[in-house]
Amino acid sequence: MNVLNTRASSAPLSADAGVSGGPARTRQGRASSAPLSFRRSGFGVAQVILFLSIAILVVVVAVPVLLIFFNAFWVDGKFNVRDVLRIIGEPDTWQALVNSLVIAAGTTIGSTIVGTFFAWLVTRTDLPCKRLMKGLFLVPFMLPSFIGALAWKMLLSPRAGFINRFFMLHFGLAGPIFNIYSYAGIMLVEVMYLFPFVFIQVCGALERMDPTLEESARISGAGLFTITRKITIPLVLPSILSGALLIMLYSMAHFGTVAVLGIENGIFNIPTLIYQRIHQSAGSFASIRTGTVLATVLVVTATFIIWLQGKILSRGHYQIIGGKSFRPMELKLRALRMPLFIFCVAWIGFTIVLPTTVIFLVGGLRTYGLSFTWENLSLDNYKFILFNYKVTRDAIWNSVTLGLSAALITMFAGVMISYVIVKMKVRGKGFLEFLGMLPFSVPGSVIALGVILAWSGKYGVNLYNTVWIILVAYIARYMAFSLRANSAALEQVHDSLVEAARVCGASMWQALRDIVLPLVRPGMLAAFFLIFLPALRELTASIMLYAPTTRTIGVAIYTLNEDGETVMSAALAGIALIIIVTGQLLVDRFVGNKAKGQG
């Protein structure tokens, strides 16, 4: 301590304004007499954060996934691959595997063609109202595809579908003109609602591509067709492929559309088969084992797809595509301009306007099957499900509270874990990163299955049939979203900002509170909405986990439809659409303005 006293008296500047009396001085005094305590307390914070981060990810993500593998391969205390192969070889399971692949392949090819074509139209041609069209092509992002599937079922089911009936009635056709309960029907509906994944990627690439690359080809004497074939397409190919793989990943593990349209004709894919087995047998051992084996196949395939995507994106093709926006060449469509425009408008009308209209109209009918006349339509169903019908009121309440809690918890956990991954120099953070991003390759139905294995009493905690098990599943499912948004925000916070606070006398906690948290708030907000909005319409995981009182909006729409309550199902779907679209528009507006304000 005496050293400090000499310091205080000999430092000419600290004499004024009572620096020597500050609390930091006392702390340093303590430090020199008990030197070890300092860095220890500094490390304490870091260790608490690190420990919590690992604990959260292990409990929420790693344990459920590991339990799936464990249950798939471990039979009667022994590692058993033959049994796994036997299960895969069973006709039903094998068929589901093949279906998943066939549907995913068809959907991917279709979506890629549609998405690339529309992207090219709105970026590189003189199509009328390009900006508006681009916005409209992104609308399917907002529409849950199982609601789309529901609408198409009402329009094109072989007997009762409005379009089929109309043709049979007025043109005397003996059978339906199109049966939506088929592979083609499922793929068609998936294409309608998934193609924006390719569309948005290719649009971005085409807009950012340096036009001089094409112009120099043109100066060298190449025609527009040659340029497109030899220059443009190779340059945007990585974007096309990456969007296509995203669709493949999504479609492989997609539950909603196949559940709504496939089960009627016995078309199952992996997620719907897992659901059906577990649902029918109320969680018997055999069904769970089949489920875990199928889930394993799904995870392995998904991991392979993600690996492939990373490989394609890292091949360096992107170097040619800069971040700046240029004004690219526009192809004059000439005589094709109006026909193509009409085609686009028809596509939007057919895929967005028609299905949503049908949903709202059916939701207004007194009984399903009546024609759309004024005396048959009313708002009674909407009033009923909003105010009087316990099932739907519960569902809306559950979805909103689940979405809010999952978003809040995941947002805070995400910012903490991202902090460890981005900012802390600790060993083992690569492991954290892996765990955090794992749910990207773990589909919703797999997470649900894992959560059932982990939280239904076998390991001391039984959340089965409660709303908590759905919450745990949501947190696991959306953690990766939160990590992405928060990591991006944290990477913007340069280390020197925190270090500057530390030399100003701030402890680790104070620096986090005063500097880091305020600066990552936009990222946290983004994470919140990235989770809240999808959680509102979540179906794949919830359907495996719901109990009679813990239905979510998605589950209620699906089960009402299954139970033949088509009008109620449609009315609830209509309300869900209103909530989702309003929410999305509010977020876009809010976040958009915010970005402008900062720029």
Which residues make up the interface to another protein (CB under 8 A)? 3-4, 6-7, 10-14, 16-19, 22-25, 27-28, 31-32, 35-36, 38-39, 42, 494, 496-497, 499-508, 510, 514-515, 518-519, 598
**CB 506 → another protein: shortest distance, Å?**
6
Q: Which is nearer to another protein, 138 or 504 (CB)?
A: 504
**CB 518 → another protein: shortest distance, Å?**
5
Q: Which is nearer to another protein, 394 or 514 (CB)?
A: 514
Cα-only R_g, the chain: 28
Distances (CA, A) of 481 to 298, 365, 475, 533, 570: 20, 39, 10, 12, 30
**CB 489 → another protein: shortest distance, Å?**
13
CA-CA distance, 550 to 398, in Å (whole number)? Answer: 7
Q: Which is nearer to another protein, 22 or 211 (CB)?
A: 22
Element containing residue 79 per DSSP (H, E): strand 78-79
Three-state DSSP class for 505?
coil
With b for 16 or more beta-carbon neighbours within 10 A and e for fewer, the 186-207 pattern comes to: bbbbbbbbbbbbbbbbbbbbbb
Unique residue bearing structure tokens 């459920």: 64
270-273's contacts with Cβ under 8 Å and 24+ in sequence apart are: 270/96, 270/97, 270/100, 270/294, 270/295, 270/297, 270/298, 270/445, 271/100, 271/298, 271/443, 271/444, 271/445, 271/540, 272/96, 273/92, 273/93, 273/96
**CB 495 → another protein: shortest distance, Å?**
9
**CB 501 → another protein: shortest distance, Å?**
7
DSSP 316-362: SGGGGB-SS------B--GGGHHHHHHHHHHHHIIIIIHHHHHHHHH
**CB 322 → another protein: shortest distance, Å?**
24
CA-CA distance, 305 to 17, in Å (whole number)? Answer: 64
**CB 225 → another protein: shortest distance, Å?**
48
Q: Which is nearer to another protein, 375 or 495 (CB)?
A: 495
Q: Which is nearer to another protein, 92 or 514 (CB)?
A: 514
**CB 8 → another protein: shortest distance, Å?**
9
CA-CA distance, 128 to 145, in Å (whole number)? Answer: 28
**CB 426 → another protein: shortest distance, Å?**
15
Residue 310, strand partner residues = none
Q: Which is nearer to another protein, 491 or 588 (CB)?
A: 491
Tokens read off for 128:
């009328």
Q: Which is nearer to another protein, 3 or 219 (CB)?
A: 3
The DSSP output letter for 379 is S
CA-CA distance, 41 to 509, in Å (whole number)? Answer: 11
| Percent helix, strand and coil across the chain, each to the nearest 5 | 80, 0, 20
Q: Which is nearer to another protein, 170 or 425 (CB)?
A: 425
**CB 437 → another protein: shortest distance, Å?**
26
Q: Which is nearer to another protein, 18 or 172 (CB)?
A: 18
Torsion of CA 9, 12, 18, 23, to 10 degrees: -70
The DSSP output letter for 222 is -
Distances (CA, A) of 238 to 118, 325, 493, 514: 17, 19, 30, 42
**CB 43 → another protein: shortest distance, Å?**
10
**CB 300 → another protein: shortest distance, Å?**
36
CA-CA distance, 347 to 429, in Å (whole number)? Answer: 47
Neighbouring residues of 92: CB distance < 8 A, sequence distance ≥ 6: 268, 273
In 3D space, the residue among 311, 331, 129 whose CA is nearest the CA of residue 238 turns out to be 311
Q: Which is nearer to another protein, 18 or 548 (CB)?
A: 18
Tokens read off for 251:
């479609």
Unique residue bearing structure tokens 């690439």: 205
